[in-house]
């Protein structure tokens, strides 16, 4: 009886396997992102801290031995937010050693400036992709827009996206001369091409939690979206509009894993998702451990950072961000006194809290903090007058900008500070 059952079971299993082979395909994707220059496990976490690049290397090698057809990708921000160049160079070395299939370019890849990006990151063997980043002068792409990886007779297309919002945290001079295409522009240009050349497409999206949702809402049926920029981890994948969003967390604590089942036409049938915590029982990869041993934890531990206050939720961004699309308005504004309102303050008054609400942008509202942290928000810039949603920077056509009214001027042009103020005549003087 038992043997009959066993034979039946074996038969059942083998027909299932056979069916899978002829009718469908299986694909495993491993994903990381927002490593943020973290070489070591989380420094500030109590007990058994998870993470660390040496454990990551061991775990990826183990999974690859089990399944040689794995695709390994990263959604961007491998470098630190604080810009520790020594640690960041080591992170790059480890990424080269691990051997990724595609690494999306995040804003933090410019933390040491554009010249570092071009001279070191682009010159490394890390397979950078971005359909969004262009040289402002020539329009040339800064990296390949997508890549195609052949696994088990399947062609997997991997396309990288980032948007202008992602660059808000970075000093503007770090990425000057770079134009960030809108999402519509990047997708119109490259999505049909990558779809035509591959059987299945994965999007690496450095758009942040909200940006990923917008993407999934606006474009049905993109498929798998691997999120980045905001360092949240997806305990459960988010399903919107035929799209599935997953996120690997921050500081290199996890490796994300997706096991996909595709039908014979390469459409997604089902999947399982998990986040593998890099716990202390995973041995360190000796080669990686040797590479990074001289980098101190304080330069390269997991950085659980607090973002500068955006208490009011209102966007305050450098004028240069707006100028990327509104070049004419920017040149006109640059000639006006608003663009020099901060410099008009005598040096000893530039830290004076009584002057900052009107001579800088968004002081006390989540904008200007001080000359060291937010030099790009001094002066009365575009966002001091225009109330713009973050979304406008990446999806302008999805986010209208309301008209600026007289009330807006009167916040600063008070009767005592600006006794001559008359809306009509003052408006004429700032026309742009």
Pick from 262, 272, 161, 143: nearest CA to 206:
161
Q: How far is the CB of 316 from ligand HEC (least distance, A)?
A: 9
Strand pairing category for 238-240 and 102-104 = unpaired
CB-CB contact of 117 with 45 (8 Å)? no
**N residues, the chain:** 432
Under the binding rule (CB under 6 A), the answer on residue 305 touching ligand HEC is no
Q: Which of 89, 261, 304, 413 binds ligand HEC (CB under 6 A)?
A: 413
How many residues touch ligand HEC under the rule CB under 6 A: the total is 57
Under the binding rule (CB under 6 A), the answer on residue 373 touching ligand HEC is no
Q: How far is the CB of 247 from ligand HEC (least distance, A)?
A: 24
Q: Which of 99, 277, 323, 366 binds ligand HEC (CB under 6 A)?
A: 323
Name the strand (E) or helix (H) holding 268: strand 268-277
Judged by CB under 6 A, the chain residues 173 through 202 that form the site for ligand HEC are 182
Please tell me the chain's helix, strand, coil percentages from 3-state DSSP, rounded to the nearest 5. 35, 20, 45
Q: Burial of 219 by CB count in 10 Å (0-12 exposed, 13-18 middle, 19+ buried)?
A: middle
Under the binding rule (CB under 6 A), the answer on residue 319 touching ligand HEC is yes
Q: Which of 347, 397, 415, 424 binds ligand HEC (CB under 6 A)?
A: 397
How many CB atoms within 10 Å of residue 264? 10
Under the binding rule (CB under 6 A), the answer on residue 352 touching ligand HEC is yes
Q: How far is the CB of 60 from ligand HEC (least distance, A)?
A: 36
Under the binding rule (CB under 6 A), the answer on residue 411 touching ligand HEC is yes
Under the binding rule (CB under 6 A), the answer on residue 139 touching ligand HEC is no
Q: Which of 321, 374, 377, 378 binds ligand HEC (CB under 6 A)?
A: 321
Would you say 257 or 338 has its CB closer to ligand HEC?
A: 338
Instruction: Return the residue matching tokens 């792409």.
Output: 141
Q: Burial of 112 by CB count in 10 Å (0-12 exposed, 13-18 middle, 19+ buried)?
A: buried
| 271 Cβ contact list (under 8 Å, min separation 6) | 244, 258, 259, 260, 261
Strand pairing category for 71-74 and 102-104 = parallel
Q: How far is the CB of 170 from ligand HEC (least distance, A)?
A: 15
| Binding window for ligand HEC (CB under 6 A); candidates: 48-56, 204-212, 261-269, 341-349 | 341-349
Under the binding rule (CB under 6 A), the answer on residue 403 touching ligand HEC is yes
Under the binding rule (CB under 6 A), the answer on residue 426 touching ligand HEC is yes
Q: Burial of 87 by CB count in 10 Å (0-12 exposed, 13-18 middle, 19+ buried)?
A: buried
Under the binding rule (CB under 6 A), the answer on residue 240 touching ligand HEC is no
Q: Running DSSP on this structure, what letter comes out for residue 143?
A: S
| Binding window for ligand HEC (CB under 6 A); candidates: 11-19, 69-77, 203-211, 331-339 | 331-339
Written as six digits, the tokens of 399 are 């986010």
Q: How far is the CB of 361 from ligand HEC (least distance, A)?
A: 7
Q: Which of 317, 368, 377, 378 binds ligand HEC (CB under 6 A)?
A: 317
Would you say 34 or 132 has its CB closer to ligand HEC?
A: 132
Under the binding rule (CB under 6 A), the answer on residue 314 touching ligand HEC is no
State how far Cα 283 lies from the chain centre: 30
Q: How far is the CB of 210 from ligand HEC (least distance, A)?
A: 16
Q: Give the burial string for 223-235 (b: 16+ CB within 10 Å, else e).
A: bbbbbbbbbebbe
Q: How far is the CB of 229 from ligand HEC (least distance, A)?
A: 17
Pick from 318, 413, 297: nearest CA to 375:
318
Q: Which of 358, 366, 370, 389 binds ligand HEC (CB under 6 A)?
A: 358
In angstroms and rounded to an integer, the radius of gyration of the C-alpha atoms of the chain is 25
Residues that bind ligand HEC (CB under 6 A): 164, 182, 317, 319, 321-326, 329-330, 333, 337-338, 340-341, 344-345, 349, 352, 354-355, 357-359, 380-386, 388, 392-393, 396-397, 400-401, 403-404, 408-409, 411-414, 417-418, 420-421, 426-427, 429-430, 432
């Amino acid at each position: 009886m038992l043997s009959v059952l066993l034979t039946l079971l074996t038969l059942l299993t083998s027909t299932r396997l056979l069916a899978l082979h002829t009718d469908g395909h299986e694909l495993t994707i491993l994903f990381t992102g927002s490593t943020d220059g973290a070489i070591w496990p989380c420094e500030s976490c109590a007990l058994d801290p998870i993470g660390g690049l040496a454990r990551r290397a061991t775990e990826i090698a183990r999974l690859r031995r089990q399944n040689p057809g794995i695709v390994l990708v990263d959604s961007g921000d491998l470098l630190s937010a604080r810009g520790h160049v020594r640690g960041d160079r080591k992170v790059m070395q480890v990424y080269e050693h691990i051997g990724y299939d595609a690494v999306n370019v995040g804003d933090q890849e410019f933390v040491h400036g554009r010249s570092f990006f071009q001279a070191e990151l682009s010159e490394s063997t890390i397979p950078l992709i971005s359909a969004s980043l262009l040289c402002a002068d020539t329009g040339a792409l800064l990296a390949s827009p997508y890549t195609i990886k052949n696994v088990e007779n399947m062609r997997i297309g991997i396309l990288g996206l980032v948007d202008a919002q992602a660059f808000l945290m970075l000093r503007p001079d770090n990425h000057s001369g770079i134009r960030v295409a809108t999402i519509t522009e990047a997708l119109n240009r490259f999505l049909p091409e990558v779809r035509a050349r591959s059987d299945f497409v994965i999007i690496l999206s450095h758009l942040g939690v909200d940006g990923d949702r917008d993407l999934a809402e606006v474009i049905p049926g993109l498929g798998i979206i691997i999120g980045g920029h905001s360092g949240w981890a997806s305990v459960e994948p988010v399903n919107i509009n035929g799209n599935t969003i997953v996120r690997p967390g921050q500081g290199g604590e996890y490796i994300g894993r997706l096991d996909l089942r595709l039908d014979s036409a390469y459409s997604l049938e089902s999947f399982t998702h998990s986040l593998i915590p890099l716990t202390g029982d995973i041995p360190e990869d000796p080669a990686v451990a040797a590479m990074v041993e001289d980098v101190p934890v304080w330069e390269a531990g997991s950085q659980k950072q607090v973002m500068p206050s955006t208490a009011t939720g209102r966007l305050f961004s450098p004028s240069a961000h707006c100028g990327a699309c509104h070049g004419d308005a920017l040149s006109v504004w640059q000639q006006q006194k608003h663009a020099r309102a901060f410099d008009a303050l005598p040096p000893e008054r530039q830290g004076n809290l009584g002057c900052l609400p009107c001579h800088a942008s968004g002081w006390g509202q989540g904008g200007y903090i001080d000359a060291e942290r937010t030099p790009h928000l001094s002066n009365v810039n575009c966002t001091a007058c225009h109330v713009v949603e973050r979304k406008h920077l990446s999806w302008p056509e999805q986010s209208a900008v309301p008209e600026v009214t007289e009330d807006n001027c009167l916040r600063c042009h008070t009767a005592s500070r600006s006794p001559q103020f008359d809306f009509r005549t003052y408006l004429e003087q700032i026309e742009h």
